[in-house]
Structures are given as structure tokens and as C-alpha cells.
Amino acid sequence: MAYEIILATTMAITVLFALSLNIITGFCGQVSLGHAAFYGLGAYTGAMLTKAGWPLIAALPPAAVVAGSVGFVVGLASLRVRHDFLAITTMGVAFLFVGLVRKQEWLGGEIGISGIPAAQFGRPGLLVLSIICAALFAALAVYIKRSWMGFAFDSIANDEDTARVLGIDVPRFKLWAFVIGTSGAGIAGALYAHHVRYIGPDSFGFVESVTVLAMVIIGGVGSVWAVALAAAVLSVLPLWFQFVSDYKLLIYGLLVFGVMRFSPDGIAGAVKRLLNRRS
């Protein structure tokens, strides 16, 4: 049972992480190649606080605030650079984060932080907490998608210049997308830190950023349920491939490539096509 709980917790945290990027990339169309940096910010904030004696629940809001504030600054950058330039800038932010943490002795430097206290309500409790957080965030995402803000995000994703002409306050909505998305990643990070109980600079590298972006794209940009599904499946996929352990990353890479090559709009697109053919 313990193994299933660990798997399910990994799933729930990854779903939350992917849904948070989906707000920025999926809803608002701003490509981020550095989302793991905010996951990392949340993880480090959470870990430092609980090591100082805070309970985990109390450490979640500060984690969201720290990640969200940095997200706000990066959002400001998105007002200045666009498209591919923005993708590379966010990638730079991720490297900057890792490079900085690596050299900070008080954050554990190269070695990272170990001995992070376990959640006081045990593993099953952490699972429940993770599921609640992921479900709340999914509900928030669905709510945003249907609200006026969702329409505004959509218009920015489709054609930023036209949105501006139509009188939509593009900078404000972009900043909101970044703040909401990065705060979500911060919470996911804090949960993650108490799930694995060891974090280091290499836990939040470029690969992690790309992996979460791949989840959003493979799910189908902007679709909440499909992104959640893709994140849940892809987060445990390498474990299912254990029987071919030497080849699991090879298969993973080919799978990511294959989905893009044959169904560029992801799982959501494939399902939609399938349903249309039936009817």
C-alpha cells in the first residue's frame, strides 16, 4: 500500500505542477521553458520553513508567495520580449535559479537540503493534501477558463496585437497569468519537497522544465482535463517502463516526439477527432 500512496502522491503533485504551467502556456499562450525554477523556489521556501519548525500547511502560502513574486518579475519580462525570445528568457531564468542556488551555502549549495521533516499527518495525509491542492487548482483553472479572464487569456494567446486593439489590458492579464501559474508551481514544489524529503539544485533543472512543458503540450494546450491526464500518466510512465529500465528515457523521448509528429494538438485533439469520426 505504501508504494501506491507514494505513486499517487507523485501523480497529484505533478498534476498540480502541470496545471499551473497550463495557465501560462495553455491559457495565455506564453511559452515558458523555465517553470521548474518556480517549483524549485516553492520547494526551497517550504523546506527552509518546515526545517525551522513551521507546520507544512503554514509553509504552503509563503511558498506560493515567493514563487509568485518572482513569477511577477518574469511576467514583466514577458511584456518586453515575445514568442521564441520569451521562451529562451524563461529558460535563462531557470539556469539562473539553479546557478544561484548551487553557490549559496545557506541553501545547502551543491549538496542540497536533506532531512526535510515529514508531514506531521503522515504519508496518507500528504497524499490527501496533495489531491486537495491539485483539485482546488483544477477547479480554479476551470473557473478562470469560463470567466472574463479566460476570454482575455484566450484572445492574447490567439493574437496579442488584435487583443490590444480590442481594448484588452494585455500587460495586466499576462502578469496575472504568470502570478497565478507560478504560485501554483510554488505550492507543488513545497509539497514535492516534503514528499521526497531531499532537494538539490539538480532536482529543478532544464529537463524538469521541459518535461512539464511536454506534459502540457502532449495533453493538449489549454485543456484542463487532458493536461491533468497527461501529467498523471507521464509522471509515472518511467516507472512502468522499469522492465526496460535501460531504455526508458529512449522510449520516453520517442513517445514525446511521436505524439507531436502524429497528433500535434495532443491527447485532447486526438480524442476530439475520434469523437467526431464516430458521430
Partner 1 sequence: MLAVDLLIQGIVQGAIYALIALGLTLIYGLLRILHVAHAALFTLGGYVGVIVTNQTGSLTLALFSSMVLVGLLGMLIYRVAYRPLLDKPPLVALIASIGLFIAFEELFRIVFGSYGLSFHNPPLRTQVELGGGLLLSYSRILIIVMAVSFLSVLAWLSSRTRTGVAWRATVTDPQMAASFGINVENVRYLNFFIGSALAGAAGVMVVLLTNLAEPTMGAVASYKALAIIVLGGLGSVRGTLIAALAIGIVESFGTVYIGHILDRDAIAFAFLIIALMLRPQGLLRAG
Binding site for partner 1 (CB under 8 A): 31, 77, 80-85, 87-89, 91-93, 95-96, 98-100, 102-103, 206, 210, 213-214, 217-218, 221, 246-247, 249-250, 252-261, 264
Tell me whether residue 62 or residue 92 sits nearer to partner 1 (CB atom).
92
Tell me whether residue 126 or residue 217 sits nearer to partner 1 (CB atom).
217
Question: Could you tell me the smallest distance in angstroms from the CB atom of residue 56 to partner 1?
Answer: 30
Tell me whether residue 57 or residue 244 sits nearer to partner 1 (CB atom).
244
Tell me whether residue 17 or residue 116 sits nearer to partner 1 (CB atom).
17
Are residues 135 and 217 in contact, defined by beta-carbon separation less than 8 angstroms? no
C-alpha distances in Å from residue 221, one per residue of 70, 79, 139, 209, 264: 24, 21, 17, 16, 10
Query: Can you tell me the distance from the alpha carbon of 23 to that of 14, in angstroms, rounded to the nearest whole number?
Result: 15
Tell me whether residue 55 or residue 264 sits nearer to partner 1 (CB atom).
264
C-alpha distances in Å from residue 188, one per residue of 80, 150, 178, 184, 272: 28, 22, 15, 6, 30
Question: Could you tell me the smallest distance in angstroms from the CB atom of residue 96 to partner 1?
Answer: 5
Residue whose C-alpha is closest to residue 89's, from 209, 176, 3, 200 = 209
Question: Could you tell me the smallest distance in angstroms from the CB atom of residue 35 to partner 1?
Answer: 14
Question: Could you tell me the smallest distance in angstroms from the CB atom of residue 247 to partner 1?
Answer: 7
Backbone angles phi, psi at 276, to 5 degrees: -65, -35
Please report the DSSP string for 66-101 in residue order.
HHHHHHHHHHHHHHHS-HHHHHHHHHHHHHHHHHHH
Query: Can you tell me the distance from the alpha carbon of 145 to that of 1, in angstroms, rounded to the nearest whole number?
Result: 36
Question: Could you tell me the smallest distance in angstroms from the CB atom of residue 238 to partner 1?
Answer: 12
Question: Could you tell me the smallest distance in angstroms from the CB atom of residue 186 to partner 1?
Answer: 21
Residue whose C-alpha is closest to residue 79's, from 89, 69, 93, 94 = 89
Sequence letter at residue 179:
V
**What residues contact residue 127 under an 8 Å CB cut-off, 6+ apart?**
5, 8, 9, 12
Question: Could you tell me the smallest distance in angstroms from the CB atom of residue 252 to partner 1?
Answer: 6
Half-sphere exposure of 153 (CA within 13 A, CB side): 27
Tell me whether residue 103 or residue 146 sits nearer to partner 1 (CB atom).
103
Tell me whether residue 140 or residue 271 sits nearer to partner 1 (CB atom).
271
